[in-house]
């Protein structure tokens, strides 16, 4: 008999291609084990009668391995035969057992039948008891159901009452909203709407009713109606404000006139206040304050409550930006209407009364804007008001400019100036920028002075030189003719009288005395004295009309400065610049340089003259912008000279021939000589500098000389950096290096520090390529900073490419291995750099 440890059954047969076979004894052994398992399971079932299907299924687990073995070994028939024999054997054993214990078995069956009969009787009794219990509980269940129905009805009544109360509260709030709107309490109405929407209509009792949904849908409409109402009030207020603007402006301008008269009286009593102006710190600190509210007085009163209310309502509705845009557009439209309605009376005839009306409207408009800016917490965009103000200023300037275009009456100019000045002072006190209007004042003064000049000095407008004696040694002509008709030759005077006349009208440097031998060639051409005469006449006559405009004296000085700058820049300096491209003669260009230098001297002396001519209390200095323009003209003239010399240099380079691919270095006896074309080129440049350009000052001569030499260096270096030639041998590079050394020596012999470094970069590059034993020294930081500091890496790369092109050509077979490796190493190292 097998032990308890063998309950798992035989192990599964290993998978193999050969089929397993079991002997008859092995089959009998497996059946014996299965019988043993069944006996143990039966005993366990008897001991614990409560086992379920899961336990029964577990008892069949040992059968699985046996069935697998039968299936794999294909011995089903053998197992069935053995099983039948086993069953027959067991039946015989049972018959033997029953034959010996028959009476005991019958007694047990009789007892079991009696127990079963008692069990059936007990079951019938339990069923009868259950029927009795069901009958007695039916009445109780009916009463409980009735109680639940009553409770449900009561709950429904309570919910109905709560719902009705909620509806009444909603209707009450809605009625209150309508009442508040009727009383113009718009903010309170909006708060009630918010409370209605966020609290009352969110009540769970109302969310399912169409009444509540309809009420919720009407809230945006109510808000919109409130917004429309306040917007309508705002529109009405804006119309009233526009109608009152003229009265506001008139009151403000009258107040400023009174203030100006009081301050003028104070300045007459105290001489030290002569230069103090209205709205200045001195005037603001010393003037008595006269309380006068231009927006709230006996004549006019503007109530800003509709605007504030509208802003508050739009803020509550989170729609401030929409109101801002609408208000901005409306005010801009009102400004345009203001201009169109008042400026029409200024055309075609200009009158001071119509100008007063226009200025009063503008002042009132922008005083209202200023008040809104100060009191509405950034509701009004300062930038938009400034832009509108700038546009209005431009329009005023345009109207006045057009109105006075054909005016020949000085009184109208003076009246216009006074009104514009009062207008400027009034709005300047409210923080508006008045630069445009100050420019208009200056323009008025300029036109006023021009009117006086046209009246008393017609000769000055024609650029005649009547203040000078008729024997002046140059003709009278307009400004354009002075420069355009110049022959760019030194001016010649025949005697001392002519020389004195020229000196009396020109500005000369301290060393400008030119000697006493006549006929005398002056350093400048006739352009310079002619322009000086025109400038002196213009300045002296201008200041005859400048007095009496002391309150803006610095601006008046600026008007004159601009006028002189315009004369010198537009009619002199720029005319010279335009003529430069038509002149190729170096001597004429040199004469232009000299003329420009004298004009620079004249500008400096003219600044001193202007300070002397104006009233002593004005103080300060005057700076002419024309000085910078003449400096630019001087540079352009010098560049033009350099360009003309460069053209000739290019012709010499056309004769240059270098043996780029040669393998023979320059002969030793010619190591210090330059190429013939280069010697001719340098001789030409030197000749030009010492003969044609002899009259140039040293700094101008150095500029031209350096420009010419720099052009030579640029072309020589282009042989290395440009595409052609594509290859250069080491010997060919030595020919170029020889010419560079010769040029460096030539510049050194000139002993001019301004020219010493012209060929510095090219010379260092040639030294690196032809005179450095190890070309890779360029990679050493210390060597590069001391010996090759001027060399640019792209130039070295280009040179190495051309050397390598030669090394890789058939002619490069003679290059030493060490030299080739050095060049390749340097080229690879530089390729890694930017």
What one-character-per-residue DSSP string does 319-333 give? -HHHHHHHHHHHHHH
Distance separating alpha carbons of residues 571 and 455, to the nearest angstrom = 24
In the chain, which residues have pLDDT < 70? Answer: 1-22, 34-63, 101-102, 162, 165-166, 168-171, 173, 193-219, 263-292, 342-349, 410, 449-487, 510-516, 537-538, 540-556, 559, 612-620, 834
Distance CA 446, CA 286 (A): 32
Angle at 597 between CA 591 and CA 600, to 5 degrees: 145
How does pLDDT run across 444-496, given as a tens digit for each residue?
A: 777 876 665 455 333 323 333 333 334 444 444 444 445 555 667 788 888 88
Q: How far apart are CA 432 and CA 201, in angstroms?
A: 52
Strand pairing of 520-521 and 492-493? antiparallel
**778 and 768 Cβ atoms separated by less than 8 Å:** yes
Q: To the nearest 10°, the Cα dihedral for 323, 325, 327, 330?
A: -140
Predicted local distance difference test score (pLDDT) of residue 782:
92
Q: How far is CA 306 from CA 563, 576, 618, in A?
A: 52, 65, 50
Ordered DSSP codes for 349-400: S--HHHHHHHHHHHHHHHHHHHHHHHHTTT-S-HHHHHHHHHHHHHHHHHHH
d(CA 446, CA 469): 29
Cis? peptide before 519, omega within 30° of 0: yes
3-state SS, 621-642, equals CCCCCHHHHHHHHHHHHHHHHH
Average pLDDT, the chain: 78
Q: Residue 194 corresponds to which tokens in the numbers above?
A: 């918010």
Residue 187 CB neighbours (<10 A)? 15
Q: DSSP assignment, residue 799?
A: H
Q: Side-chain half-sphere of 92: how many Cα atoms within 13 Å?
A: 6
Are 822 and 768 spatial neighbours (Cβ–Cβ below 8 Å)?
Answer: no
Nearest to 476 by CA among 464, 488, 494, 490: 464
Q: Distance between CA 178 and CA 194 in Å, rounded?
A: 14
């Amino acid at each position: 008999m097998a032990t308890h440890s063998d309950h798992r059954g035989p192990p599964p047969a290993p998978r193999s291609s050969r089929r397993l076979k079991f002997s008859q004894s092995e089959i009998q052994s497996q059946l014996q084990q299965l019988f043993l398992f069944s006996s143990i399971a039966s005993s366990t079932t008897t001991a614990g009668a409560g086992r379920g299907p899961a336990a029964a299924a577990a008892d069949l687990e040992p059968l699985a391995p046996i069935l697998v073995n039968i299936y794999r070994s294909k011995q089903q028939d053998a197992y069935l035969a053995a099983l039948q024999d086993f069953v027959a054997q067991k039946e015989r054993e049972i018959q033997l057992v029953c034959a010996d214990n028959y009476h005991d078995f019958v007694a047990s069956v009789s007892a079991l039948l009696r127990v079963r009969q008692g069990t059936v009787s007990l079951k019938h009794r339990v069923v009868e008891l259950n029927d009795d219990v069901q009958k007695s509980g039916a009445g109780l269940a009916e009463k409980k159901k009735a109680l639940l129905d009553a409770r449900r009805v009561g709950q429904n009544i309570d919910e109905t009452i709560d719902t009705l109360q909620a509806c009444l509260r909603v209707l009450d709030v809605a009625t209150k909203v309508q009442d508040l709107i009727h009383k113009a309490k718009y903010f309170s109405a909006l708060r009630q709407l918010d409370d209605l929407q966020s609290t009352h209509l969110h009540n769970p009792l109302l969310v399912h009713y169409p009444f509540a949904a309809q009420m919720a849908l009407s809230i945006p409409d109510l808000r919109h109606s409130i917004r429309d109402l306040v917007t309508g009030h705002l529109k009405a207020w804006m119309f009233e404000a526009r109608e009152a603007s003229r009265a506001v402006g008139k009151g403000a301008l009258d107040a400023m006139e009174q203030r100006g008269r009081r301050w003028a009286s104070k300045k007459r009593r105290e001489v030290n206040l002569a230069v103090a102006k209205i709205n200045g710190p001195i005037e603001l600190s010393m003037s008595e304050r006269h309380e006068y509210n231009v927006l709230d007085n006996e004549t006019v009163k503007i109530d800003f409550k509709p605007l504030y209310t509208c802003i508050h309502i739009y803020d509550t509705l989170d729609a401030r930006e929409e109101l801002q845009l609408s208000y901005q557009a409306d005010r801009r439209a009102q400004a345009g209407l203001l201009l169109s309605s008042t400026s029409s009376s200024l055309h075609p005839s200009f009158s001071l009364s119509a100008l007063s009306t226009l200025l009063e409207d503008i002042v009132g408009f922008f005083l209202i804007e200023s008040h809104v800016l100060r009191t509405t917490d950034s509701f009004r965009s300062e930038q938009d008001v400034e832009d509108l103000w700038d546009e209005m200023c431009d329009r005023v300037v345009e109207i006045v400019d057009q109105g006075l275009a054909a005016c020949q009456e000085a009184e109208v100019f003076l009246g216009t100036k006074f009104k514009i000045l009062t207008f400027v002072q009034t709005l300047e006190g409210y923080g508006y920028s008045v630069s445009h209007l100050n420019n208009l004042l200056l323009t008025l003064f300029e036109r006023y002075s021009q009117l006086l000049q046209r009246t008393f000095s017609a000769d000055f407008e024609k650029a005649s030189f009547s203040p000078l004696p008729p024997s002046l040694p140059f003709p009278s002509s307009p400004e354009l003719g002075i420069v355009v008709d110049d022959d760019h030759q030194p001016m010649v005077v025949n005697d001392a009288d002519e020389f004195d006349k020229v000196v009396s009208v020109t500005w000369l440097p301290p060393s400008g005395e030119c000697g006493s031998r006549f006929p005398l060639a002056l350093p400048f051409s006739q352009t310079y004295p002619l322009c000086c005469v025109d400038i002196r006449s213009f300045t002296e006559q201008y200041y005859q009309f400048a007095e009496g405009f002391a309150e803006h004296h610095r601006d008046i000085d600026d008007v004159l400065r601009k006028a002189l700058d315009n004369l010198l820049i537009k009619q002199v300096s720029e005319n010279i610049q335009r003529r430069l491209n038509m002149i190729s003669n170096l001597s004429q260009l040199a004469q232009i340089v000299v003329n420009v230098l004298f004009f620079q001297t004249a500008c400096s002396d003219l600044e001193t003259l202007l300070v002397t001519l104006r009233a002593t209390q004005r103080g300060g200095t005057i700076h002419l912008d024309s000085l910078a323009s003449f400096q630019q003209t001087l540079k352009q003239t010098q560049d033009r000279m350099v360009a003309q010399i460069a053209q000739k240099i290019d012709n010499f380079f056309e004769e240059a021939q270098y043996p780029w691919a040669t393998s023979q270095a320059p002969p030793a006896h010619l190591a210090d000589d330059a190429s013939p074309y280069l010697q001719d080129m340098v001789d030409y440049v030197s000749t030009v500098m010492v003969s044609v350009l002899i009259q140039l000052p040293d700094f101008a001569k150095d500029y031209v000389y350096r420009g010419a030499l720099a052009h030579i260096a640029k072309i020589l270096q282009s042989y290395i950096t440009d595409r052609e030639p594509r290859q250069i041998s080491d010997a060919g590079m030595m020919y170029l290096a020889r010419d560079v050394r010769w040029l460096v020596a030539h510049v050194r012999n000139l002993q001019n520090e301004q020219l010493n470094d012209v060929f510095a970069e090219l010379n260092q590059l040639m030294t690196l390529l032809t005179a450095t034993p190890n070309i890779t020294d360029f990679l050493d930081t210390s060597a590069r900073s001391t010996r090759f500091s001027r060399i640019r890496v792209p130039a070295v790369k280009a040179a190495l490419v051309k050397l390598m092109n030669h090394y890789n050509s058939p002619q490069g077979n003679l290059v030493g291995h060490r030299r080739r490796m050095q060049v390749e190493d340097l080229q690879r190292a530089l390729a890694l750099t930017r």
